[in-house]
A and B are shown apart, each in its own frame.
Chain A
Amino acid sequence: LALDKDDAYGAKSGTLWKSQHQAFAGLKSDGFDPDALWRRVDGELELLRELIAVFEKEAAELLARIGVAVEQEDAIELERSAHKIKGSLLQFSAGAAAAVALRLEELGKGRTLAGAEEKLHVLGHEIDLLLQLLHTMTRRLAGAAPDASQAGTGKR
């Protein structure tokens, strides 16, 4: 992790960084940045878990709505739902999945649904992959912390 020494979180939790760095090993790719996500949630494991839970439910609903919109050629609904899921993906620093969602949003905005079904398929796949990575990440973080229950709040 490229951390600023002045970073409040890093300064307070320097003893944990080494093991957390190990926790993120193999998770980082062009499409997902676990370091950025961890910083964004301010090292709050519980918050991250809650977000993932909300996202799992929300993503399923939004993918379903996008599927219906594509099927019914409802460009407006496609644009709205794709935009919404894109926002969530950006919060998880899931760049690859967010890019696919953006393409779907643009299709909706351009009122042309050509290729939307294929992109929906790709998006579903990316989200599945993301959820796997997120769960792995939370498992590792829970194991890396001396006291998993205090992993987030204890740092503040």
Chain B
Amino acid sequence: MATVLMGRQTGLMNVLLVEDNPVDARMIRGLLRAPSASLRCDHVTRLAEALERLNMVDPPDVVLLDLNLDDSSGYETFDRLRQAAPRTAVLVLSGSDDEELAIRTVREGAQDYLVKGSFDGRLLLRAIRYAVERKRSEEALRQSETTVRAIFENSLDGIVIFDGGSGICSEANTAAADLVGVPREELIGRRLCDFCDKGFGEEWERISLLGSGRGEFWIYLTNGSRRLVDYCFTSNVLPGHHLAMLRDVTERQNLEEQLRQSQKMEAVGRLAGGVAHDFNNILGIISGYAELLQLQARHEAERARAEKIIAATEKASSLTRQLLAFGRKQVMSLKLLDVSQVMEGLSSMVHCLVSDEVQISIHSGKQLGFVRADQSQLEQVILNLTTNAREAMPEGGTLTITIEKHQNPGGDPEMPAGNYLRLAVSDTGIGMTPEVQSRIFEPFFTTKKTGSGLGLSTVYGIVKQSEGYIKVQSAPRQGSIFSVYLPLVAEQECAQAPALGTQALNLQGNETILLVDNEDDLRSATAEYLEGCGYRVLTAADGKEAIEISDRYDGVIALVISDIVMPKLNGRGVMDHIHKTRPEAGVLMISGYANDDMPRHGISLGPSCFLQKPFTFQALGAKIREMLEKSSS
């Protein structure tokens, strides 16, 4: 900007003399012709000619204007010229020592008012130079003001100027008005603090005393919502007036909160998964020995007691499954599912879950497409959300389950674009505060006296494991909507889906099995069961011992059953060695973690070669037969 303004300072200064008196004109031109003046003076006698010159390509830098001309006289002469060339310096030369006229012309933009006969050459030259410089300064200021005004008006951040004493806004841009949710005219004349949280007034005063500062405050909108604002404060940008720059950081804060929540959930999930793994090993030992007791029971009472132990371990196992589901480590049996059909099958159970005071409304479209999920897990999601809705409506209400297609065009940071199936469970219950909403998916978090705090965390884990998304809308006394979004499977993929089935298997066998597990009790119980089924069982406490046994053994080992996480040498090492030395032998991995533990340990076996602890010996027997029959065929 400065460069533009200074550009015309180089070279001669163009002066236009507008004077119809030949004596005055000759005098002024004579005074200006000195070489040191560096001026080029053009002379016209009429205002009309002057206006023409002003419209030329190279207009004058300054106009020396006599007010009384043949075609115009008095103030009107100046006024017409100024309107035609508002950015040109004008110096009025008058034969009238009229102070009132002088003040008026200068006030309206003339740079000076000189009375004829009262100045000599030096005074005139000085007046001309001052006039041009003043005009350039004015122009620079005007351009600067235009720039500042443009920034002010177009800024995406809110800008407010307010009185230091009263705090009342004297200037506010549109962004600031949008931020506080009122028209701009309404914001001007009010205090910014009127829209903030009450505690902020003191903070504001403290910053005012400091002179500058930045921080955050909440703005409460008339529609009940609130926005977090990052502010930057500078005092006395104008005498007695302060400046506040405001930036809406609500979305950023929400994203940060989501990230924190997500990281917390991941951490809790890992912890839950770890606990469940150890717990599963213990449960495996208990249920294994209970099954052996049951098999070897001589009296019905003994069998019944063993049955009770097995039943208790199954309940405990159910709890660990929920923990694993939250930690996304539950074994999934993925199928292409029609969620509407799953819902249809669950309908009666949903009605049983809620009390008579609750009305149930199920809206389920037909042929919505398929999702890839575990049916029992999906059922658990529906039942957990139903239970949650019921608990939110102790005095009755309406529970609505909606299943529909949802096309996400993108732009949602939490969910990529694509086609989804939306399963929404809504209630008209007590609703939740934002604080409660932020914690509902944490395991063991509950607002109920009797709740386990695992219901919604299980839902969360299952949805995430199924590569879906879950969203919650709720407000106190306005009910809640839990929306689960599961990716719809492409149609061609649905057509290729193989039919799944089960086959009854004989659990007896006589092959040789190498059993590797560092849990001594579980290994012993499992070996005892397998020997009871007719197998020859070789046992090893870790991977290293397993290799030594395998290498020493001359016979055929039909199957190796190995834990994954073990000291000295893990399941991967065992598997690699067996594949190398006994390529005909099958390998069945067992783990307290889910089957996604195998890839993590570099094990490239299909899910059919994996069994998650705790397993029943029945299940183990069936799996062994399935693998052996498959390899022999």
A-side residues, CB < 8 A to B, are 8, 39-42, 44, 47, 50-51, 54-55, 57-58, 80, 83-84, 86-93, 98, 156
Complex CA distance for A39 and B21, rounded to whole angstroms: 21
Is residue B103 contacting chain A, with contact meaning CB distance below 8 A? no
Which of chain B's residues has its CB closest to A43's CB?
B121
- What are the residues of chain A within 8 A of B118 when measuring CB–CB? 90
Whether A91 pairs with B34 at a CB distance below 8 angstroms is: no
Which residues of chain A are within 8 angstroms of B30 by Cβ–Cβ distance?
A: 41, 44, 47, 50-51
B24 within 8 A of A: yes
B26 in contact with A90 (CB, 8 Å): no
Interface centre among A57, A90, A156 (most CB of B within 10 A): A90
A88 touches which of B21, B73, B120 (Cβ 8 Å):
B21
Which listed residue (B23, B34, B117, B120) contacts A58, Cβ 8 A?
B23
Give Cα distance in the complex from A58 to B68, angstroms: 16
Residue B260 is within 8 A (CB to CB) of chain A in the complex: no
For the complex, what is the distance from the CA of A134 to the CA of B128, rounded to whole Å? 29
CB distance from B124 to the nearest CB of A (A): 10
Q: In the assembly, what is the distance between CA of A85 and CA of B565, in Å?
A: 116
The CB with the most chain A CB atoms within 10 A, among B21, B35, B66, B95, is that of B95
Residues of B within 8 A of A86 (CB): 95
What is the size category of the interface that chain B forms with chain A? 20 to 34
Asked if B27 is at the interface (CB within 8 A of a chain A CB), the reply is: yes
| Interface pair B23/A83, CB less than 8 Å apart | no
Cα–Cα, bound, A47→B202 (Å): 75
Name the 8 nearest CB pairs between A and B, nearest first. Answer: A90-B117, A87-B95, A88-B23, A47-B30, A42-B121, A40-B120, A87-B116, A90-B116
Complex Cα–Cα for A88 and B28 (A): 11
CA distance A69 to B422 in the complex (A): 99
- Per-residue A-contact encoding for B510-528, CB less than 8 Å = 1, 0 else: 0000000000000000000
Q: How far is the CB of B402 from chain A (nearest CB, A)?
A: 91
Q: Within the complex, which residue of A8, A54, A83, A89 is in contact with B26, where a contact is CB–CB below 8 Å?
A: A54
Among candidates A51, A93, A98, residue contacting B23 with C-beta atoms closer than 8 Å: A51
Q: What distance in Å separates the Cβ of B118 from its nearest Cβ neighbour in chain A?
A: 8
The yes or no answer to B122 lying at the interface (CB within 8 A) is: yes
A90 to B68, CA, bound (A): 15
| CB proximity of B348 to chain A, nearest CB, Å | 109
Whether A55 contacts B23 by the Cβ 8 Å rule is: yes
Interface presence of B22 (CB below 8 A):
yes
B: which residues have CB within 8 A of A? 20-24, 26-27, 30-31, 34-35, 66, 68, 73, 95-96, 115-122
Contact present for A98 and B117 (CB under 8 Å): yes
A30 to B118, CA, bound (A): 16
The smallest beta-carbon distance between A137 and chain B, in angstroms, is: 16
Q: Contacts A54-B22, A55-B23; is A84 near B31 (CB within 8 Å)?
A: no
Asked whether B24 lies within 8 Å of A91 as measured between CB atoms, the reply is yes
Of chain B, the residue at the smallest CB distance from A84 is B21
B21–A58 touching, CB < 8 Å = yes
Q: Which residues of A contact B21 (CB under 8 A)?
A: 58, 84, 87-88
Task: Give the CA-CA distance A156 to B95 in the complex, in Å.
Answer: 29
Do B68 and A93 have beta carbons less than 8 Å apart?
Answer: no
Whether the Cβ atoms of A51 and B96 lie closer than 8 Å is no
Q: Which residue of A lies closest to B31 (CB)?
A: A42
User: Which chain B residue lies CB-closest to A59?
Assistant: B23
Residues of B within 8 A of A50 (CB): 26, 30
Residues of A within 8 A of B117 (CB): 40, 87, 89-93, 98
| Chain B residues whose CB sits within 8 angstroms of the CB of A41 once the complex forms | 27, 30-31
Please give the distance in Å from B94's CB to the nearest CB on chain A: 8
Is B120's CB under 8 angstroms from A87's CB?
no
Complex: A50 Cα to B28 Cα, angstroms: 12
Interface core residue of B27, B66, B116, B122 (most chain A CB under 10 Å): B27
A25 to B476 CA separation, bound complex (whole angstroms): 106
A80: chain B residues within 8 A (beta carbon): 68, 73
B238 to chain A, nearest CB (A): 42
Q: Inside 8 A of B68's CB, which chain A residues have their CB?
A: 80, 83-84
Chain A residues with Cβ under 8 A from B24's Cβ?
87-88, 91
Measured CB to CB, the closest approach of chain B to A99, in angstroms, equals 12
Look across to chain A and name the residue whose beta carbon is closest to the beta carbon of B115: A90
Chain B residues within an 8 Å CB radius of A83: 68, 95-96
Chosen A-B contacts, 27 in total, with CB atoms closer than 8 Å, are: A39-B120, A40-B27, A41-B27, A41-B31, A42-B34, A42-B120, A42-B122, A44-B30, A47-B27, A51-B26, A51-B30, A54-B23, A54-B26, A58-B23, A84-B68, A87-B21, A87-B24, A87-B66, A87-B117, A88-B21, A88-B23, A90-B95, A90-B115, A91-B23, A91-B116, A92-B117, A93-B117
Give CA–CA (A6, B118) in the complex, Å. 19
Set of chain B residues within 8 Å of A8, measured between Cβ atoms: 122
Collect the chain A residues with CB atoms within 8 Å of residue B96's CB. 83
Q: How far is the CA of A83 from the CA of B34 in the complex (A)?
A: 29
A83 and B443 CA atoms in complex are apart in Å by 99
| Of B26, B34, B122, most A-chain CB atoms within 10 Å | B26
B95/A51 in contact, CB under 8 A: no
CB distance from B123 to the nearest CB of A (A): 9
| Chain B residues, Cβ within 8 Å of A93 | 117
A89 to B498, CA, bound (A): 116
Closest to B66 in A: A87
